[in-house]
Amino acid sequence: MGDITDDLVKVYADSDALAQADLVRRGEVSALELVETAIHLVEQIDPKLNAVVLRTFDLARATAAEPGEGPFAGVPFLLKNLGSMWKGTPLTFGLAYTKDFVCDTDSEMSRRMRAAGLAVIGRSNTPEYGWSITTEPRLYGPTINPWNPSVTAGGSSGGAAAAVAARIVPIAEASDGGGSIRVPASCCGVVGLKPSRGRVTYGPDDADIWFGSIYALCNARTVRDTAAFLDAVAGTVPGDPYNPPRPERSWSALLADRPRKLRIGFTLTAPWGEPFAPDVKAAVLDAARLFESLGHDVEEYAFKLDLEAAWWRYNDIIAVETAGEFDRLAEAVGRPVGEADLAPFNWSMLRHAATLSATHYSASIAAIRKAGQQIALELAPFDVFVTPTLTQTPRPPGYWSMEDGDRERYLARWSDAAFMFTFNISGCPPCRCRWR
C-alpha cells in the first residue's frame, strides 16, 4: 500500500481495539491499512521504546487479507514473548538460550485469539523468563516507559503495556504470576485485568501451571476491550483442574449494568517493607472517598495473614517449577541450560531448587494453598477490596535488575508488589487501570 497518512495514524491512535474492528466492518478502513499503520508505528516509535522484540509482519498481513468476522477482525496485536504458543512464530522467553525456538503447536488461547481476528504483528519484550516486575532482559535490553523514561515500564508484560500506552497496538497479550499484567498496566497507565483462576485454559499442552497461579489475558486501552477480549478467550477444555462458573451474559454486556450497593474494603497497610508512599496512600484514599460518594459502604481493613511468609513459600514452589520447565526446554534446545545462559537471579533460583527436598516442596505447596484459603476467608465479607498495585511509585530502571544473583536480596525488593501475588495464590480476580 502507499504511504501512511497523518489522518490514518490519528484515527488509529484515537481508536481502541473494538473501534478499529468497527471501522473495518463498516468499510471506513481496511484491515490491511490498520496492520500497515501498526507496522509504521513499530518502525517509527519502537527503536526508542524497545517494546516489540520479535516481528511477524507477514503473518499480520496474511490475517489482514482475510480478517474474518471475529470481534477483533483485523486489529493489530502483540503476543507476549513468554509462554504463549502460536504455531510458526518464534518464542525466545527473553533468552539467547532459546533464540532458535519456533512454536510447533497452538495453545487453545491462541486458537481463540486467531478466531477473534487479531492480526499478530510480533511479540512484546519481557524480562528473562518472566520472574521480574521490570522488563530489562540481557538479550533485548530494557523497554522504556513511554510516559517517563526515568521509571520502569513494569514487568513481566512491560513490552505489552508500553506498546499499548504508546498506541502501537490497542491491545496486547499479557500474563501474570505475581503482578505481571497489573504492574506494567499501573506503570504505563493502561488497563490490566488478572482474571479468576481457571478462567482461561492452559491447554492443550499444559493442564496446570504453578498450581493455578499463572493467569493470561491482556493489557488494553479500555475496559470494554478487556471485557470483549475475555469473552473471546475465556473457557476451559475437558480435563482442566479449574472450572469457574461463567456468567449467563457476556462480560461485554455486563458492563452496561449499574452496580448495586457494594461493601468495599480498602487497605492502607503494607503487608511488609516500606509503608505506602504518600502519593500511593493518597490515591487509595481518593478511591475510597469516590466509592463512598457513589453510595457504597466503605471500610478500611488490614490483612491478618502473614503475607511475607507466604511470599517465601511461593518462591520455593516457583524455583522448583522453573527448574522443571528448564529441564523440558533442554529437550527442545538439545542441551541443558548453564550458568552463562542465565541472568544471575534466574541461576540462583535453579540453585535454590536443587537444595529443596520433596517434603519441603510439598510443605510449601500446602502452605500456599492454606494462605490462599485464608485470603479468601478474610476478604469474603467484601464485594470489592481495594489495594494499590505497588506500595511505592514506580522505581527507576535497574531497581529490579535480574543481574543481582543474591536470591533473598532480590526477592525482598518485591515488597512493593506484596498485594500482587496475594491474588495469584488466592485465585481472586483483581485488576489495575491507572495509578496516577
Q: What's the chain's length in residues? A: 436
CB contact set of 356 (below 8 Å; sequence gap of 6+): 316, 319, 320, 364
Decide if 78 contacts 162 (C-beta within 8 A). no
CA–CA distance, 150 with 334 (Å, rounded to integer): 40
Q: What is the DSSP string of 96-129?
A: GGGTT-B--S--HHHHHHHHTT-EEEEEE---GG
Question: In this structure, what is the dihedral angle of CA atoms 371, 373, 375, 379, given to the nearest 10 degrees?
Answer: -170
Q: Tell me the CA end-to-end span of the chain in Å, nearest whole number.
A: 39
SS3 label, residue 315? helix
Selecting among 15, 80, 84, 157, the annotated active-site residue is 80
CA–CA distance, 208 with 221 (Å, rounded to integer): 29
Decide if 168 contacts 42 (C-beta within 8 A). yes
CA–CA distance, 168 with 13 (Å, rounded to integer): 8
- Per the annotation, the verdict on 180 as an active-site residue is yes
- C-alpha cell, 108: 487453545
Selecting among 84, 107, 132, 180, the annotated active-site residue is 180
- Per the annotation, the verdict on 30 as an active-site residue is no
Selecting among 156, 157, 186, 348, the annotated active-site residue is 156
Which candidate, 209, 206, 200, 193, places its Cα nearest to that of 131?
209
- C-alpha cell, 243: 472450572
- Per the annotation, the verdict on 156 as an active-site residue is yes
Question: Looking at the annotation, which residues are catalytic?
Answer: 80, 156, 180
